[in-house]
């Protein structure tokens, strides 16, 4: 069972440890009176340090590196209690960790001492390089954790900005768009004529389309008998046969002399249907 950790003033000493144990035992009695149970933990001891894990999820709650542990001892008055003092890597404070083990408190203390002996032997064999490597690895792991935390915060900010942008786009029309306006009408509720837009593209107020404007055809229309209609603007002198043209000339000379069509001089034969 893990009673917890508390800050101590010295990195080692029997009296320092006893004060920490008394404080944490008193805190445990208060928690028990409130109905809280003392949490159980699992310890992993190696030449690199002591890890405190959750026994069910195996999640690391505390990772105490061996080179930061300055003191380890079991309580001679209470065989269930064992402690060690470790310097915190972030706050640089000395923390005393207190555990309650019913049967193996002394064995755990001896195991931590053996880990120190093995780590010291490996230090002598490697010439101190292994310790420096572990320090560098620990520093890199700490930096990675800081970067992951910063990256998660930045992702949350980006997500918030994207949500705000989507809300703005929903309520604001895109730039440059023109809202179509209904054409204005006169006092008779009629749409005024516009030469720019075709009349057939604008429906009337009752939903029906106006009649299409007849298109002008370049083809010459003919009458019921297949003859072309008379057009005084396009009918010239070259459009008639020579005999009819000579009679027209005589008629014009007769008009100049004041004669009319009743004169027998101008009794003409039936003209061509084109005139």
φ/ψ of residue 47, rounded to 5: -75, -5
Its sign, for the CA torsion 122, 124, 130, 132, is positive
Q: Model pTM?
A: 0.47
The answer to the question of residue 136 being in a domain is yes
Whether residues 89 and 30 share a domain: the answer is: yes
Q: Which of 125, 145, 177 is the last residue of a domain?
A: 125
Q: Are residues 37 and 89 in the same domain?
A: yes
**CA 100 – CA 98 distance, rounded (Å):** 7
CATH of the domain at 54: 2.30.29.30
Does residue 93 carry a pLDDT above 70?
Answer: yes
**Quick one: 16 and 120 in the same domain?**
yes
Instruction: Based on the fold, state whether residues 42 and 133 are members of the same structural domain.
Output: no
Same structural domain, 22 and 139: no
Pair (67, 113) in one structural domain = yes
- The answer on 161 and 82 residing in a single domain is no
Whether residue 74 sits in one domain with residue 17: yes
In a domain, residue 192? The reply is no
Domain count, the chain: 2
For the stretch 174-214, pLDDT in tens is 555 555 555 566 665 666 655 554 444 445 455 555 556 55
Angle 46-50-56 from CA coordinates, rounded to 5°: 105
Cβ neighbours of 167 (radius 10 Å): 10
* Rounded (5°) CA angle 202-205-211: 50
Residue 131 inside a domain? The answer is yes
How do strand 81-87 and strand 94-100 relate by DSSP bridges?
antiparallel
82 and 142 in a single domain? The answer is no
pLDDT value of position 82: 92
Angle at 197 between CA 196 and CA 198, to 5 degrees: 120
Count the Cβ atoms, other than its own, within 10 Å of residue 8: 20
Q: What region, left, alpha or beta, does residue 30 occupy, with left being phi > 0 and alpha being psi -120 to 50 degrees?
A: alpha
In a domain, 66, yes or no: yes
Last-in-domain residue among 165, 192, 224: 165
Whether 74 and 11 map to the same domain: the answer is: yes
In a domain, 209, yes or no: no
End-to-end CA distance of the chain: 128
In a domain, residue 113? The reply is: yes
User: Is-contact 204 191, C-beta < 8 A?
Assistant: yes
User: Residue 172: inside a domain, yes or no?
Assistant: no
Between residues 257 and 196, which one has the greater pLDDT? 257
Domain range enclosing 153: 127-165
Instruction: For residue 49, list its beta bridge partners.
Output: 46, 65
Please report the pLDDT score of residue 51 as a whole number. Answer: 93
**Which two structure tokens, joined as six digits, stand for 122?**
């490996």
Residue 229 lies in a domain: no
20 and 117 in a common domain: yes
pLDDT digits (tens, 9 = 90+) for 27-86: 999 988 888 888 999 999 999 899 999 999 999 999 999 889 999 988 888 889 999 999
**Length in residues, the chain:** 275
Judge if 93 and 108 occupy the same domain.
yes
> Which is nearest to 109 in space by CA: 120, 119, 121, 97?
97
CA distance 122 to 67: 13
């Amino acid at each position: 069972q893990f009673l917890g950790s508390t800050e101590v003033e010295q990195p080692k000493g029997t009296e320092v440890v006893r004060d920490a144990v008394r404080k944490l035992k008193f805190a445990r009695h208060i928690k028990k009176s409130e109905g809280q149970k003392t949490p159980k933990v699992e310890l992993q001891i190696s030449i690199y340090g002591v890890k405190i894990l959750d026994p069910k999820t195996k999640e690391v709650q505390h990772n105490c590196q061996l080179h930061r542990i300055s003191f380890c001892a079991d309580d001679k008055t209470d065989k269930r209690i064992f402690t060690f003092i470790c310097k915190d890597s972030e706050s640089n404070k000395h923390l005393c960790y207190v555990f309650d083990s019913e049967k193996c408190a002394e064995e755990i203390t001896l195991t931590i001492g053996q880990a120190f002996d093995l780590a010291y032997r490996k230090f002598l064999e490697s010439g101190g390089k292994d310790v420096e490597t572990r320090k560098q690895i620990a520093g890199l792991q700490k930096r990675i954790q800081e970067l992951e935390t910063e990256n998660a915060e930045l992702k949350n900010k980006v997500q918030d900005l994207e949500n705000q942008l989507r809300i703005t786009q929903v309520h604001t029309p895109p730039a440059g768009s023109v809202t179509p306006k209904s054409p204005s009408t006169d006092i008779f509720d009629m749409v005024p004529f516009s030469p720019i837009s075709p009349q057939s593209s604008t429906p009337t107020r009752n939903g029906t389309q106006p009649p299409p404007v007849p298109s002008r055809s370049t083809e010459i229309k003919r009458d019921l008998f297949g003859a072309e209609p008379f057009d005084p603007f396009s009918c010239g002198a070259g459009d008639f046969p020579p005999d009819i043209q000579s009679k027209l000339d005589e008629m014009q000379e007769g008009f100049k002399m004041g004669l009319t069509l009743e004169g027998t001089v101008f009794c003409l034969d039936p003209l061509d249907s084109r005139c």
